[in-house]
Structure 1
Amino acid sequence: MEKRTEEKSFSLGRLDIVDLYEWHTNGKLMYETYFQRQFVWKEKDKKDLIDTIMKGYPIPAIFICDAKTNYTTLSKTYNVLDGRQRLESIFEFLDNKYEYKGKKFNQLDEDEKKSILNYNITLIQMYLEPDDTDKIKEIFKRLNKNSYNLNKMEKQSTQLVEYDYMIIAKIVSGIVQIEKIESYLDEISSLFVEEDDGEIDDYSLEEDAGNNIPSEIKELCKFERISNINKLLTTDIVFSHYDRQRQIALQYFLNIFACIIKDEIINRNVPEKLIIELSEIDKNILSEKLSKCNDACGILLGLYDEGIDSFWKNKTSFFTLIVLFARNLEKVKKISVERIKQILEEFQNSNESEWEKYNEASRQGVNDKKVRELREQILLKLLLGK
């Protein structure tokens, strides 16, 4: 890297991929700004990047700044301001986590490996103090103006995060820790207010949104009260890393919890209007319904711990089972987890027409209200004789 001078706010440098990988493995690259965009590339994006590198074409520069200096070990770490998706895609390929043209990195010939490891990447080092958050945020905003588009769920969760229902959903799905919710809201407000694209145009965040969270919401979302929900939404049991980063787990919770609160199946995804409506419900009712949801998730975790067939871990059955368990909690609690597992697996291995209906309803039109109701009706009859 070019030596820092007082006259410059940044400097240009270059490093080979092999050197950047060494930084990565030695923990020299950090992603400490929690407001940073999450890792959202699909495998196709990753393979396209490797193809660009293999062909020797240029890729955008990586922006970094000092993170901290350890004066005991005489070592320095760097915070990645922009380029995380590119770096993680490269490192994952070097770690043999996906294939390029049918081959993982360790299967490439020596010349192919050299072309990747010796590829030169431009680094732009910003001269910022590690705790100069105002400048870091400003640079981050400017770098991300034209970056990877937010999907509709990300936009909705950003623009409606001032409402209690969305705050609860973000906490239980692990997107933000409750002790950091106020600072998170303020960061989101300043960083991700985007131009109107016609999809969400009625709501925006106030600058002081982080100061308006009711104390009862914080009490309601204490970890011991949401631990089962949190485990299901933040681990790889049902949702992949990519699902969670794109807030798909969050969307499922929004839909599931809406069904539990309203005690009816909703159609497709919960709309903005309903999010606002559910935010105005008495907090005692919200607390009661959240407890039911957490207990229902506890039963489902028990099934998964018992080693139930993976079919019941798909997102469709995950949705149906939690809603069914929560809406019929006292009756379901009277059935042992082992017995529920036995019933479901015998049903799955049967040739009954009801299984064919359920299986079909788990694969097509899965979010339509009638299809969701059909799945629940079939399992209600199976488990509770209704």
Structure 2
Amino acid sequence: MGNNIEEKSFSLGRLDIVDLYEWHTNNKLIYETYFQRQFVWKDKDKKDLIDTIIKGYPIPAIFICDAKTNYNTLTKTYNVLDGRQRLESIFEFLDNKYDYKGKRFNEMEEEEKKRILNYNIILIQMYIEPNETEKIKEIFKRLNKNAYNLNKMEKQSTQLVEYDYMIIAKIVAGIVQIEKIDDYVDEIKELFLEEDDKLEVDNYDYDADLGANISNEIKSMCKLEKIKYINKILTSDIVFSHYDKQRQIALQYFLNIYACIIKGELINRNLTEKLIIQFSELDKKILEEKLHACDEASKILLKVYDLEIDEFWKNKTSFFTLEILLAENLEKIEYISENEIVKRLNNFQRSNSKEWNEYSEASKQGVNDKKIREQRQTILSKVLFGQ
């Protein structure tokens, strides 16, 4: 049997969903490569998958390879190379985390349950040793060439990951742990930064900076104790949903907020690649000083969020406005308690004044427009500081 395995690089097999679910509950399926695409499907995608399964239509195969064998417990685990989104969607449905046509799995008729649990999924097992990371990377890269397209933010954050500004943002937003940032950059460069994928930003020479080491200054300013408050907001469910975080929307907000704090003025629309490069070339002391201001503002906001403040102020638009406003007025805010901030914001919302109606409208329309951002900032500055 060993010789047969050596003669071929993969084999086809089939497994019922009930068996795959048992693998899942027994932790036999893992996602060892941290450069895996993150779980990004919307509810509609998940429900469409369940619909496909119930109707007996085929779904794409799942690619796996051996992860490791425990010779003491005589158990084996498998690394999922491709198909994580499909598997997680199925497992979430079986765990009653969402419904299909108004019914969760535990509310379905027995016949419907059988149809799902007995559905056969094709497994393609790659014959790769767990330590053959280069082969795993190559397979992953090829599988993902035709996979679910990266959104603009994911592509931008991938292609600019070697620049200090993007590295800071990715650590702060919890995309990667600081301890793994060097390996992360190497993996991303190998997997995605191919010649035909590089962004054209004016005539900037990207190749000149590829392979640059991450400085100790960046690593120092991004230690968790120095960014713990902004990191908590970006990675918790207070402002950003699970979907927001998985699609790196929280990262996009931080990139823009941090840019506004650095420039001392509001920017128009989302941060450009050119500005990301320019900010990366700033003195590290400036980057650290502004990052500290951002974290201090987040510390105040977290205390405000813990109080009886209306949920409106926890939406993404208000977070954007309040974060920048607080970061730019840390000296003034020292004389205003968190309870007073909550009181002023709630009273403003209940006032039904002309200013409130203007702010409410500005929160809904043109959220990336500089003039609208300035309008929101001006109104809230008067509410909090009387100016």
TM-score normalised over the length of structure 2: 0.95
Match of 2:200 in 1: 201
Write the mapping of 1:295-374 to structure 2, written as runs, cut at 5 A. 295-374=296-375
Q: Which letter does structure 1 place at the counterpart of 2:34? A: Y
Match of 1:188 in 2: 188
SS in 1 for 2:68: strand
Q: Compare 263-272 and 344-353 and name the one that shifted more.
A: 344-353
8 Å CA contact 2:5, 2:127 repeated in 1: no
Displacement of 1:180:
1.2
8 Å CA contact 1:267, 1:369 repeated in 2: yes
Match of 2:77 in 1: 77
Displacement of 1:352:
1.3
Match of 1:139 in 2: 139
Displacement of 1:380:
0.6
Question: Deviations 1:181-208 (Å, cap 9, x if unpaired)?
Answer: 11111110111135757x9323786598
8 Å CA contact 2:93, 2:105 repeated in 1: yes
Question: Deviations 1:245-278 (Å, cap 9, x if unpaired)?
Answer: 1110110000000010001011110111111111
8 Å CA contact 2:32, 2:79 repeated in 1: yes
- In 1: Cα distance, 2:102 partner to 2:215 partner: 53
Match of 1:99 in 2: 99
8 Å CA contact 1:66, 1:79 repeated in 2: yes
- In 1: Cα distance, 2:375 partner to 2:107 partner: 48
Structure 1 residues 240 and 205, CA gap change in structure 2 (3 angstroms): farther
SS in 2 for 1:51: helix
Asked if 1:10 corresponds to 2:13, the answer is no
- In 1: Cα distance, 2:114 partner to 2:130 partner: 35
8 Å CA contact 1:189, 1:207 repeated in 2: no
Structure 1 residues 207 and 142, CA gap change in structure 2 (3 angstroms): farther
- In 1: Cα distance, 2:307 partner to 2:207 partner: 46
Match of 1:128 in 2: 128
Q: Which letter does structure 2 place at the counterpart of 1:362? A: S
8 Å CA contact 2:141, 2:191 repeated in 1: yes
- In 2: Cα distance, 1:3 partner to 1:86 partner: 33
- In 1: Cα distance, 2:3 partner to 2:74 partner: 17
8 Å CA contact 2:300, 2:338 repeated in 1: yes
Displacement of 1:289:
0.6
Structure 2, unpaired ranges of 5+: none
8 Å CA contact 1:182, 1:210 repeated in 2: no
Question: Deviations 1:9-54 (Å, cap 9, x if unpaired)?
Answer: 2222111001111111111110110011111111111111111111
- In 2: Cα distance, 1:3 partner to 1:326 partner: 65
Match of 1:154 in 2: 154
8 Å CA contact 1:4, 1:11 repeated in 2: no
Q: Which letter does structure 2 place at the counterpart of 1:67? A: A
- In 2: Cα distance, 1:293 partner to 1:105 partner: 44
- In 2: Cα distance, 1:15 partner to 1:260 partner: 53
8 Å CA contact 1:14, 1:121 repeated in 2: yes
SS in 1 for 2:67: strand
Q: Which letter does structure 1 place at the counterpart of 2:199? A: I
SS in 2 for 1:6: helix
Displacement of 1:5:
3.0
Structure 1, unpaired ranges of 5+: none
SS in 2 for 1:5: helix
TM-score normalised over the length of structure 1: 0.95
Match of 1:43 in 2: 43
Displacement of 1:219:
1.3
Structure 1 residues 253 and 204, CA gap change in structure 2 (3 angstroms): farther
Displacement of 1:210:
5.0
Displacement of 1:353:
1.3
Match of 2:256 in 1: 255
Q: Which letter does structure 2 place at the counterpart of 1:168? A: I
Identity of aligned pairs, percent? 73
8 Å CA contact 1:17, 1:116 repeated in 2: yes
Write the mapping of 1:223-238 to structure 2, written as runs, cut at 5 A. 223-238=224-239
SS in 1 for 2:239: coil
SS in 1 for 2:6: coil
- In 2: Cα distance, 1:291 partner to 1:195 partner: 37
Question: Deviations 1:332-375 (Å, cap 9, x if unpaired)?
Answer: 12211111111111111122111111111111111111111111
